[in-house]
Structure 1
Amino acid sequence: MKGITLQRVKAWLTLPSLVFTVIMVSAVIVLGSSLIPSRAMAPRSISLPTVCQAPLKSPEISWQLPQDLEGNLQQKNLNVVQRAADLFAWQEFIALNWPAKSGVRGVPDQTVNINAVAPRVWETWKETSEVYLPDGREPLPWNAAAPLPPGLGKPLKILYRQSKVDEVLSDEFQPTKADLALPGTLTDQQGRIVRYEIRMNQVAFDYVVQNKLYDANHQAKLEQFNFPNGAILIKAAWREVEPTEEARFHTVSAYVSDRADLTKATYQEIRMGLVGFHIMHKTASAPQWIWSTYEQVDNVRGEQPSFFNPHCPDCLANHQTQAHVPNQVTRLTPIPNQNPDCNQPNQAIDNVAELNKTIQAGLKNSVWQYYELVNTQWPLPKAKIDPTPKTVFQVKPPILANTTMETYIQKTSSCMGCHAIARGVNPNQYTASDFTFTLAYAQPQPAQTQIIPPPAKPVSAWDTEQWNSILRGYQLTTQTYELLPENVPVAKLHCQSCHLNGGGNPKASAWLGMMEKYEYPQTTNLQKRINQCFEHSLNGKPFPITANQPEFRALITYMQWLDEQAQVLDIPRPKTPFPPIPQLTGNSQRGQAIFQQKCSFCHNTDGQGRYQTDTYYRPALWGEQSFNKLAGLHRLNTMAEFIHGNMPYQFDGNLTPQEAWDLATFIDNQERPSGSANSAK
C-alpha cells in the first residue's frame, strides 16, 4: 500500500454511489482507527423549546432514519402535528445526507460524523434511469454498479435532466411550467442550467423489481399499486459551482450530459452544488406519504443569490426564459416564520424559520448549515370507516413549493395534490400509481389505442383529395381563438378545450357520427350546431350559413375524417357525450379544496388558465376568457360527467364521482359571461 496518503484516501471517498472499490477498504485497514473509529458515533441532541406544551423528542445529529412521525399524526392540536412533521423532515434530511458506508448502497457509515467526505446515503440509491431500462429489461441487482456510457473513464454521477420531470414524460403529462412557448429549464445568474436527478431507496426498488413494474407490458396488466411503508423517493437539483463557493454547498464532481439519450450524449466533468431537495416518504400513518422540501440558503436571497439578481428590478419574476438566459426567481410562498396560537388547534402552524436556525446551529461545522427546510406536507388522518380511496384526502399545509423545482407554479404547487393524480404506464386504463409518477417511466411505452391521433398523412384516396381541408379543420379545432379572432374575440378557448384530443376522444363529446346525427348534408343542422358552440362554448360569434363557407367546410371535412379513422382503428362510437355517473349532491367548499389540490396547477389560482407570452397552455374555467352561461358545460350534470370522465387531463379515472360533483358545483358557482346570441364584444 505504498504511496497511499490521507489526501488520496479522501479523494477516493468522494467517488459517487456507483463505485464501491476494494481500494477504499484497503485504505481504511492501513490508516486504522485514527481515521475511522471502530464504534458507532453517538447521536448528538439539539435542544428545542416545546410547542403548545407538547413533549416532542428533540432532533438529533444522527445517521438514524426515522420511520414515522412522532405521534403518528394523532395529536389533537394540529400545531403540534406540524412541529412533529417538521422535526421528522429535518431528522430524515440529516440521516439521508449522512456519509454512506463504502461498498454497499443505502447504508450509513455509523463510524463517522456528518462531515466525513463520502457520497451521501441517498446518493448511493438507484437513479430511476437504472431501474426503468430500454425494452423493459430487468434492472441490475440493488448493489450492482450501473455501467458507464462508452468513453467515460471516471465513475462519477451522471446528470442529464434539465427539468425535474423525467424526459419520458411530457409537460402534458406532468405540468411543471406555466408557459408553453418557453422551456421549463431553470438557469442561474451565470447562465448555467440546473440539473436534476431522481432516486429511490431499496424498499421502493425491491417493490418495483418484485412486481416487474419496470416492464411496461407486464405493469399495464396490473390493477393496483401499493408501495410498502418505508419507501422513499428523492428529487435533487444541482447547479455548477465555483471553487470559491464550495464551502457553502454539498458538492460533487459529475458528468453533465447535453441530452437525455445517454448513448448519444457528450459530457463535461463539472463541479456541481446541491441547491434543491425533495423527499417523499411513505409511512404507516401517512398512506399519502410525507412530503418535505429543502433548499440551499443562497437560492433567492443573500449577497449573491443563485437565481435572483437584486440589481434587476425590471426582470420578470418567476417567468420562464430560454435556456441559458438567467431566471429571476423569488419565493412566493414564504417559509413559515410565525409561532402558533395554541388556542387555535386547527391552524397547523410551525415557526419553520426559527426551527431552521436552531438546527443549522447544530450543524455549524458542516456544509449542511447552509440548507433550510421550506416546509413539510402531511395528510389529515381519515376515519377508520372512510371507504374513499387514499387519493381523496385533506392536507396541511395546502401549498408547498421549492424555488428550484416548482419555480413557475409556486402559488398552485401542492406536492401531495399533484402526485395524487399519478398513474401507471397504461395509457388506456387509469390505475393510480400510489403517488409516484416514476411508474410511467417503464418501457416499452404502450400505444394509446382508444383515442384518434392527429392527422399525420393521407391513407385513402379520399384523404388525399381532401387533405388540405382535413388539416385546416384540425387546425381550427386546436387553435380556434388564435385562427378565428373575429369569431372568438374574447374567450381564449379552443374547440378541443371541450372536445378533447381534437374531437377524437370518445369520453369527451367526440365528433363521431355527426353527419348522421345532424342529417348532413341534407339539412344545415350541423352548421347550426357548430354556430351554437361558437356563440356559447366559445362566447363568440356565429358564421354565416352559406354554401361552401370555408370554416364550415374545413370543420365538417375533418369530422368526416374522424369517422373514417374510428372505423380504421376500431374505435366504437360512444352512446353518450361523456361517461354517465350517479346523480349526487355537490359541495362547493369541498370542490374548492379539490380544485386547489388537483386542478389549480394547470388552471391557475383563480381558474383563469395559463396564457403566458400570449400562448395557450391550459384553458380558463371561469371569468371573461371562458365559456358563457349558455354553454353545455354550464349545466351541472354535464360538467360533472365531463370532469369525471376526463379530468385531470390525461388522468381521467383519478376523481371519484363525488369529487366530480363537488368540483362541478364549485366551478358552476364562479362568475362567467351571461351569454346571448351574437352578443360577444
Structure 2
Amino acid sequence: MKPLLTALLLAAGSAHANPVTMEDQSQLKVPDAQAQPRFVPPAEGELPDNAFGKMVREGHALFVDTRRLMPEAVGNGMNCSNCHLDQGRMAHSAPLWGAYPMYPAYRKKNDKVNTYAERIQGCFQFSMNGKPPAADSPQMTALSVYSYWLSTKAPTGVELAGRGYPEVAPPAGGYDFTRGQKVYLEQCAICHGKQGEGQKVAGEYVMPPLWGRDAYNWGAGMHRINTAASFIKYNMPLGRPGSLSDQQAWDVAAWINRHERPQDPRLVEGSIEKTRLKFHANDGVNLYGQKVEGVLIGQGTGH
C-alpha cells in the first residue's frame, strides 16, 4: 500500500481523536509579505511543440481574453488577467503558480473542500458575474492546464512568497471616502474612468470597470475593502505598485467599494439583510447591507 494512502486511512480511523483542521482559503494568506519571491514560472519559449503545449496556449488565450472568447461564461467587463496580472505570473497579484499547488483546499466561502476547477468556477460566478463553465469543459481543462504549466517545479502544498495579495493592515484612523475619492481621481480615473466605468476600444474593454453593471459583483472577494486595499497597494497604479501609502490604499478601496455593482448571486430569499448576515457579516471589511450617507449599499445595479 502506498505511504500516502496508508496515512489517509490511519487519519480517517483516528478522526474523532485527532480532528483534522483544514486551511480556509477564503482569503489568501501570505507567509511573509516582505519576502522576496524566488519562484520563477516557465517562459513561453519553454513550451513543447505538442498537444500539451497547444492546450497551454489555449488556456493562456482564455485567461487574457476571457470576455471575448467565453461570452457565455462572463457577465461583465472582466478578464481573468485583470486581477491576476502579467498573465497570471506576477507575484503579489494572486499568481496562478501560487494557487494551483494549494488545491484541493477548504474554503469557508462555500463551506466545502474545493478542487482547483471549483475555485475557477467561483471566479466566473463572482468576480466575472457570469455562469461558471462545467468542470470537465474544454475551456476549464485548458485554464487548469495553463495554471499547471505556470506551476512547473513549484512545491505542492507550500505557501510560496508572492502568493495572493499581501495583507495591508487597516490604518489606525480607519478609511475615509472623501480622501479615497481624491486618490481615485488623481491616480485611478485615467485608466478606469471618473465614474469607474472602465475604458473601451472598438467596443471591448481595455481597462476594467470598477463599479456599475459591468464590474465584479457583491459576492466577489474584491468587494472586501481589505482585499481591494491589498491588491491596490501591491499592484496599482499600473506600473507604479507600492507608490500609494497604506492609508491611501484603504481610502481608495473604500471609495470604490461604496458604489453599487451587480447583486450577490447568493441572495437569500431576495433579502439583502439575510444575505449580509449569512455571507458578509464575518467576511472581512465590507459595506454590503450597510447604510452609507442614508443609502443602503448592496441593492445591486438593477435598482
* TM-score band w.r.t. shorter chain: 0.5 to 0.7
Q: Distance in 2 between matches of 1:565 and 1:480?
A: 26
Select 1:555's aligned residue among 143, 146, 167: 143
Quote how far apart the aligned CAs of 1:473 are: 0.8
Q: Within 1, Cα distance between the matches of 2:165 and 2:130?
A: 24
Q: How many residue pairs were aligned?
A: 221
| 1:516 Cα offset (Å) | 3.4
Q: Corresponding residue for 2:135? A: 545
The structure-2 alpha-carbon separation of the partners of 1:450 and 1:617, relative to structure 1 and needing over 3 Å to count, comes to farther
Taking a change above 3 Å as real, the CA distance of residues 552 and 596 of structure 1, as seen in their structure-2 partners, is same
SS state of the match for residue 558, structure 1? helix
**How far does the alpha carbon of each residue in 1:520-548 deviate from its partner, in whole angstroms, 9 at most, with x for none?**
9xx861111111100000000012233xx
Letter in 1 for 2:85: L
What CA distance in whole angstroms lies between the structure 1 residues aligned with 2:185 and 2:192?
10
Match of 2:68 in 1: 482
Confirm or deny: 8 A CA contact 2:101 2:154 kept in the other structure.
Answer: no
Pairwise CA distance, 1:653: 1.1
SS at match of 2:261: coil
Tell me the TM-score normalised to structure 1 length: 0.31
Q: State the Cα distance separating 1:454 from its structure 2 match.
A: 8.7
Unaligned regions of 5+ residues in structure 1, if any? Answer: 1-448
Distance 1:605 1:676 in 2: 27
Equivalent residue in structure 2 for 1:600, among 175, 185, 189: 189
Match of 2:167 among 577, 580, 585: 580
Q: Distance in 1 between matches of 2:100 and 2:44?
A: 23
> Counterpart of 1:617 in 2: which secondary structure?
strand
Contact 1:591 1:659 (8 Å CA) reproduced: yes
Q: CA deviation at 1:611?
A: 0.6
Structure with a larger share of its residues in helix: 2
TM-score, normalised to structure 2, is 0.66
| One-letter amino acid matched to 1:581 | V
Q: Over residues 580-610 of structure 1, what are the superposed CA-to-partner deviations in whole Å (9 max), with x where a residue is unaligned?
A: 2222211011000111111111111111100
Q: Determine the structure 2 residue equivalent to 1:564.
A: 152
- Trace 1:277-676 onto structure 2 (pairs within 5 A): 456-459=44-47, 464-488=50-74, 490-519=75-104, 525-546=115-136, 549-564=137-152, 573-574=160-161, 576-584=163-171, 585-676=174-265
Larger Rg: 1 or 2? Answer: 1
Contact in 2 for aligned 1:506/1:573 (Cα 8 Å): no
Higher relative contact order (CA 8 A, sep 6+): 2
Letter in 1 for 2:168: I
> What residue identity is the alignment partner of 2:254?
T
Runs of 4+ in structure 1 displaced over 2 angstroms?
449-459, 513-516, 572-576
* Letter in structure 2 aligned against 1:577: G
User: 1:599 aligns to what SS in structure 2?
Assistant: helix
Cα pair 1:458 1:467 within 8 Å, conserved: no
CA distance in 2, matches of 1:660, 1:519: 31
Q: 1:575 offset after TM fit, Å?
A: 6.2
What's the CA shift for 1:503? 1.2
Take 2:67 and 2:42, find their aligned partners in 1: how far apart are those partners? 19
Q: Per residue, is there more strand in 1 or in 2?
A: 1
> Which one-letter code corresponds to 1:649 in the other structure?
L
Identity of aligned residues (%): 32
| 1:437 equivalent in structure 2 | none
Q: Name stretches of at least 5 consecutive residues in structure 2 with no aligned partner.
A: 1-36, 106-112, 268-301
C-alpha contact 2:76 2:130 (8 A) present in aligned 1: yes
Mapped partners of 1:553, 1:531: distance in 2: 12
- Tell me the distance in 2 between the aligned counterparts of 1:604 and 1:560: 35
